[in-house]
Structure 1
Amino acid sequence: MGKGPNSAHRFATRCLENLKNQSCHIERGHDERPESKNRGNFLEMIELLASYNEQVGALVLGNAPQNAKYTSHQIQKEILHVFARNVQSSIRHEIGDARFCLLVDEAQDESRREQMALVIRGQGYDGASNMRGEWNAREISDVHTFFQNLIFIINIVSASCKRNDELRAFQAATIEHLVDIGEIETGKEVNQVGGLQRPGDSRWSSHFKSICNLIKMYGATCLVLENIALDGSTYSQRGDATFSFKLLMSFDFAFFLHIMKNVMGITDVLCQALQQKSQDILNAMHLVTSTKTLIQKLRDDGWETILEEVTSFCKHQDIEVPDMDTCFSSVRRSRRKTKSVTVEHHYRVDIFTAIIDQELQELNNRFNEQAIELLKLSTTLDPRNSYKLFNVEDICLLVDKFYPEDFSDQEKIHLRFQLQHYELDQLLNELSQR
């Protein structure tokens, strides 16, 4: 190579020309030249289609006219824009002057990046609002703080593809170690490596999944945070990771994690049922009753089990467990000058019992006995399966108890006989159709 700025300039120019020439044949990381064995998904798909259809094969790739192959990325983008305009025009024509709404939702792809989907339709209800505000235990300040910290930790660990890759690598290594020492078993679809999930405000089931995923990947999450705390590129990254790691290594956070898992695990079945587009009212009411029963049972008999579960978890994660018999003190308590209590009293009464009582109160307010009876009686009007649940007595009771002012005494008398005629008529119709 010659010396001096002119020689360097000529060398750089040649390099740029070579790269430019190569870029004409390489598209999106693939070598699209005819002799290449890795031409990319698009061209490989065209070649596959051509091999199955002679008419297609006669018009594409090497058999296409020299100036009409339509395989360059610029042409493909133009074709996609034509499709997009046609779709938009069709949607506008179909909607016309009618009312419509937009549904916007997002989800993470395989690389953990958020992808947004937008749908135009005439009805925007998806069942999520049934459970809006359902988890009012969050009104307890400590519970609110826990969820804020949970979201903070997940956001830090899931902030980039690199961190997610580290998380999966640490989790895979953890699983392999536990298998080697015999603590867990192997098998099909067992011990799969997943990731952390950000909770969504409108769907409380996502909070439950976030908690379960964090418990499953607790050790791996701690390792990722330790790495960021030591090697983060900025002081804010290192500081946030250090704070998050201290949270994970605290008994307080571990306790909230497990109490939330147990309580929300019980309510999640009801939550899922009430978010269905097609409601089975009778089944939902049975779930309300069973949910109340299980929540009350957890309050009455679940403390020892919860404490043992948290203690075992903390020992496994090397988290210090406080002495339950020692005096508990906090800034809030000292300022309020309240009587001193033990650590066990704080976690059992101020947290465990308070959370469950709040949830029971919310369930009782939303689904009191009168509301449940109204809904159960209303199921007799369910038209599915030719009014299989139709019952004359239930309808009469529904009128007498919940709609007495809508019917006169004479109308109530006639109603029973009219319903009996209808019931018999339906039965005769079914028999005639067999």
Structure 2
Amino acid sequence: MKMRFLAVCTALAAATALTGCGQSADQAAGRQKVTLWLMKGSASEDFIDRFTAAFEQEHPALDLDVRIQEWTGIGDKVNAVLDGTSKEPADVIEVGNTQVAQYIETGGLSELTLEGLREWGSKDWLKGLAEPGSINGAQYGIPWYAANRVVVYNKDLFANAGIKTPPKNRQEWIQATQKLDKGDQQGIYLAGQNWYVLAGFIWDEGGELAVETGGKWVGTLDDDKALAGMEFYKQLQALGDGPKAADEETPPQSEVFARGQVAQIIATPGQAAEIEAANPVLKGKLGFFPIPGKTSEKAGSVFTGGSDLIIPERTGHRKGAVDVVTALVSEKWQTELARTMSYVPNKTTLAHVVEGNEGAANMAPGAAQGRATPTSARWAEVEAKNPIKPFMTAVLTGQDPKQAARTASAEIGRVLSSDR
């Protein structure tokens, strides 16, 4: 790739009488600057400083320039890099795992399949990070870190109900939650439109949100397996007073939990800090357990949030960019990131590195069963309209599940398969 870049530079110089092709003095002296875009909040300043220093020490010919980006408007900025119109350079970019599909469709990403197989241990990657970054067997997004939902619970309320150990399967979970749901106390606070949680229950049943068949996407909420997932959601949701026509942010579920009369919520472990800030009395009284699966042998499926790393095809420093990714996904820096930020590492084989962090350790079993949304570049449009939410409310308020699911499935298929 470097030879190709130099050849292009020479051709441009001959044709336009330009010199250097944008090379800096450091590059002319044999040093190259590799630019890494990270999203705000993904890594601490201390982590970035330590990583940069170690990387430059191990790669004397490279200078690493880390630039922090805001999530708002990032799509347009990344697309500008990919189509060559950006005024800001980027050789490696952190992107949300569910965003990769839209960038693949846009074009301009380097394929990294071989590097994944040879250097980065792709066989052990978390599926919820790896699958959204792949299309037709070619890998473009490289898993970096994951975060997923667990059950956050009030230890005192569990003890008062005589529940000594967290439930391991759905049956135990329902039985425990029934014990906890009494008087003014809610067994669980589960908003009626928390579709991320529903997705996990659907996946546990073997269902899907949508599938691609014959080049066309079809919504599948009306499949019997998906409906079984919704039925379990309804059963669990009834063991509390969560609103049937709102999501987990209306009102914020952490605020409801902080009042002290809710035994459980389903959330990322990071919400524990919000709960304790709202009600310091609960400090030290919060526990975590993986969302239970249908059997005790494995945790329930969860929606995997997190980030992938991409390399623009137009980078002039592909080897340096690959070196940056190699370092970021190495066991050393995966361990550092996971322990610093309470994330789940990008591989199932690294789950042990967060054993001392209760929140992250309880995310890891779910992450091994993690999934992502359908790998369509238009899934973001589905989420914007989100026909899943009214489907959930319809079922929870007594409407016919099959009919409500057909309506939602038809809208999902229409959005995913329509021409832009």
What is the TM-score with the length of structure 1 in the denominator? 0.20
Structure number with higher helix proportion: 1
Larger Rg: 1
> Which structure would you say has the larger RCO, counting Cα contacts within 8 Å and 6 or more residues apart?
2
What is the TM-score with the length of structure 2 in the denominator? 0.21
